[in-house]
Amino acid sequence: MIRKTILLSGLIFLTTIGSASAGDEGAGYAASFLEIPIGARAAAMGGAYMGISDDGAGLLYNPAGLANMKKKLFTTSYRAMKLDRSLTYISILFPTQGNSVLGINWLYAGSGSVEARNSLGQLAGHDVSFNSHDIGILFAKRFENYLSAGLKINYFQSNFTEINSGTVGIDFGIMIYFDQLVDREKRDLMPVQNIQLGVAVKNIGARFVWSNSEYVRRYFGGNTPASEQVDNVPTEFAIGGAASFLHKTLNLAVDILKHNKSTVRFYTGAEYLVEQKFAIRAGLSDGSFTAGTGYLFKLGGNTLAIDYAFSTDKAGEGEEHIFSFDILF
């Protein structure tokens, strides 16, 4: 009875989720860089990755999706952005016993730097910059054929010129594989396969505490009063579905994300396998069009994937290009 209820709930979700809509995205809150789609494959699919999350970028979407890894995986990605910004990440995954996986990742978001000036417009003799880091440790496990779960502990570090702040946040996700609730003979004949539902809660407990006392003492003297500010990182709730069609050559995905400082955001994407080694992708990332491609090939005894994504202009920030490289070994 429980298995039938789970299966029915997932099918209803996948057939009705397309009616959801998203408003304008909020801004001006702590760690907002975490909402930028990471990884070229995921970015090309509009960031609709909550119900997939099966590669090196999955650590940053739904940690439960990594439980199926059977080989070690190294991933690196770079997102070239306008306004002197960049987004880079590295992740490594290690399969362990009992259908489980351990992983680590480092995500860097940089904004470049500008020369500091005083209230009179004169150069102050130093630069002002802002950059952030996310260092995470992941554990994911497949408990049943139809269910996996994952936990990721993040350490966030942000630096604004010489003012630093760090915090810890937790991501938790589950993945339900609905096709595993159907007998194998029937599953192979189904027109829709790989039906998956991912749910995640992210940034639990993260909050930055900022103090400018050191900066004020160095540049303005001890008589200038210092200040302190607390920035709570919004806890994000996300749900996403994915399914395969046309004998698993067409993958469709859709995500809905929400936190207390933004309106609902809607992401949708598609991936078509022209052949087993070559894929083309497209999507909508909260209203912005995305597209990309990927190629998979053997390199010695290892498997190498090269992915590229393109994102159209959003809020006057210009187009962006994303490159990712994955090595299975």
Q: State mean pLDDT over 298-327.
A: 86
Q: What is the CA radius of gyration of the chain?
A: 21
What stretches of the chain adopt beta strand conformation (E)?
73-80, 86-96, 100-117, 123-144, 147-160, 163-177, 193-204, 207-211, 228-232, 236-245, 250-259, 265-275, 278-285, 288-299, 302-311, 320-328
CATH number (domain holding residue 18): 2.40.160.60
- What's the mean per-residue pLDDT of the chain? 86
Q: Among candidates 156, 106, 163, which has minimal Cα distance to 129? A: 163
The residue that leads in pLDDT, 223 or 306, is 306
Query: Given pLDDT bands bounded at 50, 70 and 90, which one contains residue 119?
Result: low
**Structure letter (DSSP) for residue 29:** S
What are the tens digits of pLDDT across the range 239-289?
A: 999 999 999 999 999 999 998 888 899 999 999 999 989 999 999 998 899
The answer to whether residue 173 scores a pLDDT higher than 70 is: yes
Q: Among candidates 249, 261, 262, 321, which has minimal Cα distance to 291? A: 321
What are the tens digits of pLDDT across the range 129-150?
A: 789 999 999 999 999 999 999 9
The number of folded domains in the chain is 1
Query: Given pLDDT bands bounded at 50, 70 and 90, which one contains residue 324?
Result: very high
What are the tens digits of pLDDT across the range 26-35?
A: 456 788 888 8
Say what the pLDDT of residue 132 is: 93
Q: State mean pLDDT over 101-114.
A: 89
Measured CA to CA, the distance from residue 44 to residue 305 in angstroms comes to 15
The residue that leads in pLDDT, 148 or 120, is 148
Structural domain including 303 reads 2-116+125-328
Contact of 257 with 236, CB cutoff 8 Å: yes
What are the tens digits of pLDDT across the range 43-76?
A: 999 999 999 999 999 999 999 999 999 999 999 9
